Structure 1
Amino acid sequence: MIESIRLNFKDTLALSIHKCKNVRELKQIHSLVITSPNLSPNEHCFLISRLLFFLCAVNESPDGLQYADKIFRRIAVPSLFAYNAMIRANSTKIKDPFSRESLILYKEMLCNNLTPDTITFPFVLKECAKRVDSLMGRSIHAHAVKFGYEGNAYVQNALISLYSECGILVDARRVFDGMSNRDVVSWNSMIVGYLRGGELDVALDLFKEMNERKDIITWNSMITGFVQGGRPKEALRFFQEMQFSSNDREMVRPDKITVASVLSACASLGACDHGRWLHSYLKRSQMECDMVIGTALVDMYGKCGCVERAFEIFNGMPKRDILAWTAMISAYALHGHANEAFKLFENMEAVGVRPNSVTFVGLLSACAHSGLVEKGRWCFDMMRSVYGIEPQVQHYACMVDILARAGQFVEAEDLIRGMPMEPDVFVWGALLGGCQLHGNVNLGEKIAQNLICLEPQNHAFYINLCDVYAKAGRFDDLKKIRALMKDKEIRKSVPGCSMIEVDGIVHEFSVKGPPEVPMMEAIRSVLMVLSDEMKRETNTNIFIP
């Protein structure tokens, strides 16, 4: 009878631990465990271990892990289960992403003659990946081989993530190729590794070879990777393919990450129709429009030229962080609305949101586009004196652009000479642009020639110098530069192209070739009509007395 009561009490506590949702409830159960006289030593150890596991899993309270650590340190001889719970909790905590606690626990576990298992290694490797510590990661890899877990799928997936995070894609691929049973996590980890490493085409090949069902992580990785890799049109194509794909007979539905990434692609392409459709999809699907999505919408509408719509979205956001404010300020700056940008900046200061370095890039850009020299000087000085933000090279480039557009070349040169870092091509390019605008041939020639000496194969500098000579009417010098480019076989490394959205379809026009034939035929017919009208207009003007 007593044994039955004790068994029921133990099971009741175990069930209560399993149902707990916060640290406060777990603490109450802990007090029952340590004060109960009806528990045997083995039952007590079992309940403490279960308590420790669930306490580590609860992320609601910031003191949850600290409380778990206190319990763990009071265990005379911690079990492998207890060590794994603590290693897992420490490797996944967000507050201190560079903590070494998981590695310290792993070392303690080995010193206590406990053999790690398939739960231990993935989380220790995750700690190494988080710290981008390839040296320690290789040591843990060696331990996995030593203890016979190198062929475990969970360990192999963790190794792929580790080597990918550390940029060692050769080793990541070696682990991947050596796997006998790959799951969707294996494919996703390898694809993400290539995307992060900038090897988009290799990632695409792997994506096409993928035998497993593609999940939302797969599609999000491809969409986000190609947007960040400067290939937004292909990212849109992935999104369209995703809508017709399925996973275990269920449609793969977009989530917030998908929407934010696709909106970014629309912003890069100026694909406003796509962006509007996605905005309406958000409403239809009743997906929460949080700060991330709201900011992405503001950025998309702003870059597509719908500034008023961007402000409507911004104004309707219940909460706005610095990213949202900066996106709206940048939208105003992009379209030359400097007064609106600075008014918004004042409102941002009034509500206590502190600007960052990107905010000031937007404000300085607004000054450059609107010719506000004094406002630009004030803004450039304020970022350091009021907010303690040291100007970076992009801020200097904006300030040089402001001065050069206004013809203030002496001040612009002084600013460049006083830069704490080496001026880059954008800084010199801003000054060169002012020289072209105002016909400052001598300074423009000197800058362009210096840039050509720095990067003799960069076609842009030769073109800029040609523009300077053309502006000054020095066509003989222009011909010499053209001849020099021909002799050195200097061409554009990336062919120029432009894109336009028509009826929701983004069309690309490039010097390397025409777009699809049906569209090109329609364009040629329109050009022929325009050409005939221009000829008639010219002939008519000739015979006017």
Structure 2
Amino acid sequence: MSVKYVRRTTNFNRFSIPKPLQNHESFTQTQTIANQVKRCSTLKELECIYATMIKTNANQDCFLINQFITSCTTMFHCTDYAILSLTQMKEPNVFVYNALIKGFVHCAHPLKALQFYMLMLRANVFPTSYTFSSLIKACTLLLGISFGKAVHGHIWKYGFDAHVFVQTALIDFYSNLNKISESRRVFDEMPERDVFSWTTMVSAYVRDGYLCSATRLFDEMPEKNIATWNTMIDGYARLGNVGAAELLFNEMPAKDIISWTTMITCYSQNKQFREALYVFNDMKTNGFSPDEVTISSVISACAHLGALDLGKEIHLYLMQNGFNLDVYIGSALIDMYAKCGSLDRSLSVFFKLQEKNLFCWNSIIEGLAVHGFANEALAMFDRMETEKINPNGVTFISILSACTHAGLVKEGLRRFQSMTRKYSISPELEHYGCMVDLLSKSGLLGDALELIRNMKFQPNAVIWGALLGGCKLHRNLEIADIAVKELMVLEPNNSGYYTLLLNMYAEVNRWTEVTKIRVAMKELGIEKRCPGSSWIEMERKIYQFAASDQSHPASEEIYLLLAELDRQMKLAGYRPQLGSIL
């Protein structure tokens, strides 16, 4: 037994772990800790793992600390633990510093990113290309041209002046600070460019409004990717050049979801809502599924067209495909249902939203105001204040409009004054327009005229037009004449104002003035504008029509129905007022 015991002891003492196996076990342990760090769902868990790392001396492992700092900053926006972990290291390498600098940028602490870059240099740790990409973003957040130029100098110093990725970041930095000539200089000095560099320079021109330069560079590009085409389409859309955007869109060799969404948004922003819906249908036909941005644009188009059935379909699509009903889609749905006349659905969407921002509150207040529920709109405004949501200028346009619809003069004046006194919101032309409309419709034409004359802004045609509308309602020819004279200067070719004044004189049989206005219109060459038009949705199609329009296939049936309605109205004793028809 003693021999056996000796053998066992001897074998045990001589046993040693081969180096490759040691490295394998160390690698396995490192990966285990790294995976634990990545899987952390709370900051407390991450703190416990770091405590374990200190016990096992793993807090000196640069790879693990890199992972730890990344988790601290990107997952939990906590920079304190990240700084602590670096300061407790004996020899942190450049990757650890890079993670911390990037983390500061992600957590919106750009100045700290630059400070730790300086500490890194003092520790004789030299930067990499990833260091500079984060530093350039930090300078962009600071809007600091001097910081950016200093970093640019270090890029030259450390030999990254030919690095494509770093130079591309510099192009973007300078363009963000409206230094387009510096962007172009960096671009021209690049010894090598990739398609991303070209696209960034094109995007810089578009962002700063130099679309001609962007177009020339776009034409010179040796290779274009989808992002380049999308950038140009977006540039033309911003300038309202729908034709050029449409041409590029049709010429694209390949499209992605951003391409389709950009074109839909282009049409919507330029009030071509039917075209936006056509492109949306084409997108689905081509096998592309819409995302949240696409859906928001399409819902907005439905709202402007009054396409309730299509709006309902899109809402159903959202629910069936698991879309998150966030504040952007939520506010778009609220607005769409309200504008399409379905206030109940609008309120239903509003109250079902788990999170509501100012856009949601503004949409529902406007919806209530437009439908004539002034007291409910005011109550919703008070509820919004209770929820600690501060109103903006758009909110007050809806509130003042609600007061106008209900004739709530005192309430309107009180809310108008509270803008500056309580919320420090300076009234804009639109707010004055609402107040002039409120006072004018209530018969306080003298007060409305005084408000216009005491404005800090030069009144526009909308404000004088609101006053003129009140004059028509209350038959005040004296102030109407003042309003029309101002409108003749602002919009000399608008026949509507002349016609309105002409009708007012005709109503009181002042035919001499009627003749004078007609002669003046003839001498100035003012003709009646093209008639207004309306839209109607039938079987998921949008039809546009004007008065006496017979272009619709069912126009004969429509006019027969109108004739029957006219007959029934006459039987009911209705007689139209013809005083304003010459």
What is the TM-score of this pair, normalised by structure 2? 0.79
Mark the CA change 1:457 to 1:533 in structure 2 (over 3 Å): closer, same or farther. closer
Q: Distance in 2 between matches of 1:126 and 1:494?
A: 47
1:450/1:264 CA distance change after superposition, 3 Å: same
Work out the CA distance in 1 between the residues paired with 2:291 and 2:302. 17
- Residue 473 of structure 1 deviates from its aligned partner by 3.9
Matching of residue 21 in structure 1 with residue 71 in structure 2: yes
Secondary structure class of the residue paired with 2:285: coil
- Aligned residue for 1:499? 535
CA contact (8 A) 1:432 1:444 kept: yes
Amino acid at match of 1:423: P
One-letter code aligned to 2:98: L
- After superposition, residues 312-323 of structure 1 pair within 5 angstroms as 312-323=348-359
Q: Is the 8 A contact 1:160 1:186 kept in 2?
A: yes
Residue 299 of structure 2 is matched in structure 1 by: 263
Q: Residue in 2 aligned with 1:453? A: 489
CA apart distance, 1:31: 4.0
Letter in 2 for 1:207: F
Q: Aligned match of 1:334 in 367, 370, 378?
A: 370
- Give 1:141's match in structure 2, choosing from 178, 184, 191: 184
Kept after mapping to 2: 8 A contact 1:298/1:328: yes
Shift of 1:371: 0.9
State the shift of 1:18 in Å.
6.3
Q: How far is the alpha carbon of 1:459 from its aligned partner?
A: 3.6
Q: Give 3-state SS (helix, strand or coil) of 1:410's partner.
A: helix
Alpha-carbon separation, structure 2, partners of 1:164 and 1:316 = 40
In the superposition, relative to structure 1, how do residues 222 and 468 fare at CA in structure 2: closer, same or farther (>3 Å)?
farther
Query: Which residue of structure 2 lines up, in the alignment, with residue 389 of structure 1?
Result: 425
Deviation digits for residues 30-85 of structure 1 (CA, Å, limit 9, x no counterpart): 6499425xxxxxxx7xx514750585168764458835751454224744515433
1:190 to 227, 232, 247: 232
Rounded Cα–Cα distance in structure 2 between residues aligned with 1:291 and 1:382: 27
- On the 8 A contact 2:140/2:176 being kept in 1, the answer is no
1:175 positional shift = 0.7
Aligned-partner Cα distance in 1 for 2:427–2:107: 38
1:175 alignment partner in structure 2: 217
Q: CA RMSD in A?
A: 3.5
Asked if 1:215 is matched to 2:256, the reply is yes
Paired residue for 1:163?
Answer: 205
The one-letter amino acid paired with 1:526 is: I
Counterpart of 2:71 in 1: which secondary structure?
coil
Shift of 1:352: 1.8
Asked if the contact 1:122/1:158 (under 8 Å) is kept, the reply is yes
Alignment partners' CA distance in 1, 2:338 and 2:478: 38
Q: Secondary structure at the match of 1:243?
A: helix
Deviation at 1:124, TM superposition (A): 2.1
CA 28–365 in structure 1, closer or farther in 2 if over 3 Å, else same: closer
**Gap regions ≥5 residues in structure 1:** 37-43, 246-250
Distance 2:21 2:522 in 1: 95
Distance 2:144 2:329 in 1: 29
**Displacement of 1:348 after TM fit?**
1.4
Secondary structure (helix, strand or coil) at the match of 1:419 reads coil
SS at match of 2:536: strand
Deviation at 1:226, TM superposition (A): 1.7
**2:558 aligns to what?**
526
> Relative to structure 1, is the Cα distance of residues 459 and 108 closer, same or farther in structure 2, using a 3 angstrom cutoff?
farther
User: Deviation per CA, 1:64-112, whole angstroms, max 9, x where unpaired?
Assistant: 883575145422474451543324532675xx56776444422442355
378-387 or 530-539, larger mean C-alpha shift: 530-539
- Whether 1:309 and 2:357 are equivalent positions in the alignment is no
Q: Distance in 1 between matches of 2:561 and 2:359?
A: 48
Query: C-alpha displacement at 1:480, in angstroms?
Result: 4.5
Alignment map for 1:47-446 (pairs within 5 Å): 47-49=93-95, 52=98, 56=102, 61-63=107-109, 66=112, 69-71=115-117, 73-75=119-121, 76=124, 78-90=126-138, 101-110=147-156, 114-131=160-177, 133=178, 136-149=179-192, 152-211=194-253, 213-245=254-286, 251-446=287-482
**Shift in Å at residue 130 of structure 1?**
2.8
Quickly say closer, same or farther: Cα 1:365–1:533, change in 2 above 3 A: closer
- Alignment partners' CA distance in 1, 2:373 and 2:105: 45
Are residues 495 and 57 of structure 1, via their aligned partners in 2, closer, same or farther at CA, if it must alter by over 3 Å? farther
State the distance in 2 between where 1:99 and 1:343 align: 48
Q: Contact conserved, 2:132 with 2:155, CA < 8 A, in 1?
A: no
Using the alignment, how far apart are the partners of 1:176 and 1:57 within structure 2?
Answer: 35
Contact 1:236/1:262, CA 8 A, preserved across alignment: yes
Cα deviation digits, residues 234-256 of structure 1 (max 9, x gap):
111111111112xxxxx321111
| Contact 1:65-1:89 at 8 Å conserved across structures | no
Shift of 1:228: 1.6
What is the DSSP-based 3-state SS (H/G/I as helix, E as strand, rest coil) of the residue aligned with 1:35? coil
Aligned-partner residue type, residue 84 of structure 1: F
TM (norm. structure 1) is: 0.84
Change (3 A) 1:302 1:446: same
Give the superposition deviation at 1:504: 1.9
Counterpart CA distance in 2 for 1:271 and 1:495 is 22
Q: Which residue of 1 aligns with 2:6?
A: none
- Bigger shift: residues 257-266 or 151-160: 151-160
* Aligned partner of residue 535 in structure 2, secondary structure: strand
Q: Deviations over 1:151-180 (max 9, x none)?
A: 532121111111111111100101101112
Deviation string for 1:7-34 (max 9, x for gaps)? 9879976764469533369949964994
The farther-off stretch of 22-31 and 484-493 is 22-31
Cα distance between partner residues in 2 of 1:270 and 1:364: 24
Residue matched to 1:39: none
Structure 2 residue ranges without an equivalent (≥5): 1-17, 32-60, 574-582
Opposite residue 244 of structure 1, the aligned amino acid is T
Q: Which moved more, 1:419-428 or 1:465-474?
A: 465-474
Contact 1:192 1:221 in 2 (8 A): yes
8 Å CA contact 1:439, 1:471 repeated in 2: no
TM-superposed CA distance for 1:532, in Å, is: 7.9
Rounded Cα–Cα distance in structure 2 between residues aligned with 1:322 and 1:382:
18
Cα distance in structure 1, aligned partners of 2:167 and 2:493: 49
TM-aligned CA distance change 1:217 to 1:59, over 3 Å: farther
Q: Percent identity?
A: 29
Tell me the secondary structure at the aligned position of residue 521 of structure 1.
coil
The Cα shift of 1:492 comes to: 6.4
Instruction: Give the letter aligned to residue 115 of structure 1.
Output: D
Instruction: Classify 1:57/1:273 alpha carbon distance in 2 versus 1 (closer, same or farther; 3 Å).
Output: farther
Distance 1:206 1:70, change over 3 A: same
